Amino acid sequence: MSDKSIGIVKTQYFSFAEPPAALQLQSGRHLAPVTLTYETYGTLNNAKSNAILVCHALSGDAHAAGFHEGDKAAGWWDDMIGPGKALDTNLYFIICSNVIGGCMGSTGPSSINPETGKPYALDFPVITIEDMVDAQKHLIDFFGIEKLFCVIGGSMGGMHVLQWASKYPDKLVAAIPIATALKHSPQQIAFDEVIRQSIMADPAWLGGSYYEHGQPEKGLAVARMIGHITFMSDQSMEEKFSRKLKNDNLSFQFIDDFEVEGYLRYRGYNFVKRFDANSYLYITKAMDYFDLSGDKFMPGIRKTNIRFLVISFKSDWLYPTHQSQDIVRLLKRKHAYTTYFDLNSTYGHDAFLIEIEDETRLIRNFLANVSLD
């Protein structure tokens, strides 16, 4: 643990919408009660003006930084969050919460349905990115924060950033969407659909009601393998694996001859241990439904004072540069102060988790130029 680590942290629980109250959903259905897990790092100032909301990607969680007691691995964006880091806990109060629909403590398909006493499974309502943000809004209100200093996130987290800016434009000063899009292209929908089909093709999925019997391991592992291919670039795979063999010779059998095959199997089956298959269905569906293109972004607003930093990565073919350029074009229409960087990384979509040095430089400078009050 370095001296730039925030040290030991603990996930917290925040519940709201206790019946008869409920969270109204885009589908017309409602959810009650709702629990969000979250973590905070740094200190909220008296004016409550230094809060930064960090939004996680598809399989992320509230544990963005520091270490859980006894854990060797730090949170998923620990390199970015801590004293002196891009999101400097000496200056800012960082909040990260797990999305609804997830499986890391927030209410999702694996949570107990109070009406049946059993896990929701597919009785859980299909939720949207907007629903996720609405739930986050309850958490921000709970802290008594009138205005977030910044909302930041990559991939799906970037969708949350855009949704915050669009739905709650008075509630944030700055916004940093990274490696994301205003809407999924048909190619992105296609990958998500195959991921879902892979899970649902596994007989162990049992129509979603597998909780007493264990996960649909094989279907979920294959789904995740598909994901991992899309997270890397052709070049980063070449650099990491090339055609290196696991053993001296080709096996002439249907085993994993190449290192890249072993890597995918490892990542696939590891995912099964930590992520709920139904959550994968719900969250990918939410991402596919997301669409803030054209007039759907910041409806009725002619000019926004929110300051934007948009970041994409040249080798990211899952969320390609042209999608971030679309965001920038739309922001200019809203006369937003916008800074845009298309970074020269070879790491593909994973770059937003890896290119810490470049991101730190850009984000620190950007935030330093945004007045804290």
Give me the residues that bind a copy of itself (CB under 8 A), please: 27-29, 122, 125-126, 183-187, 189-191, 193-194, 196-198, 200-203, 218-219, 221-222, 225-226, 228-229, 232, 234, 237-238, 240-243, 250, 252-254, 256-261, 264-265, 268, 281, 285, 288-289, 291, 317, 320
Say which of 5, 155, 233, 236 is annotated catalytic.
155
What is the smallest separation between the CB atom of 324 and a copy of itself, expressed in angstroms? 14
- In the complex, the smallest distance separating the C-beta of residue 282 from a copy of itself, rounded to whole angstroms, is 9
For residue 326, indicate whether it is catalytic.
no
In whole angstroms, the minimum distance from the beta carbon of 295 to a copy of itself comes to: 15
Residues pairing with 68 in the sheet? 9
Please name the helix (run of DSSP H) or strand (run of DSSP E) that holds residue 156, with its range, or none. helix 156-167
- Annotated active-site residue in 56, 63, 184, 349: 349
Q: How far is CA 304 from CA 3, 74, 332, 336, 372, in A?
A: 39, 36, 10, 5, 18
**Of 325, 300, 338, 354, the residue nearest 181 (C-alpha):** 325
CB nearer a copy of itself, residue 213 or residue 302: 213
Taking the least distance from each CB to a copy of itself, the nearer of 66 and 109 is 109
| 349 included as an active-site residue | yes
What one-character-per-residue DSSP string does 277-319 give? Answer: HHHHHHHHHHHHH-B--GGGSSTT-S----EEEEEEETT-SSS
Judged by beta carbon, residue 40 or residue 188, the one nearer a copy of itself is: 188
Cα separation, 211 vs 52, whole angstroms? 36
> 275, 154, 297, 170: which is closest to 223 by C-alpha?
275
| 22 strand-pairing partners | none
- Phi, psi angles (nearest 5°) of residue 151: -120, 130
Please state, in angstroms and rounded to a whole number, the distance separating the CA atoms of residues 31 and 25. Answer: 7
Which position among 63, 316, 324, 350 bears the catalytic label?
316
Instruction: Tell the smallest beta-carbon distance from residue 132 to a copy of itself (Å).
Output: 15
Minimum distance from residue 56 beta carbon to a copy of itself (Å): 23
Pair of tokens at residue 304: 């926004």
Complex with a copy of itself: residue 144 or 186, whichever CB lies closer: 186
Q: Which is nearer to a copy of itself, 58 or 152 (CB)?
A: 58
User: Which residues participate in catalysis according to the annotation?
Assistant: 155, 316, 349
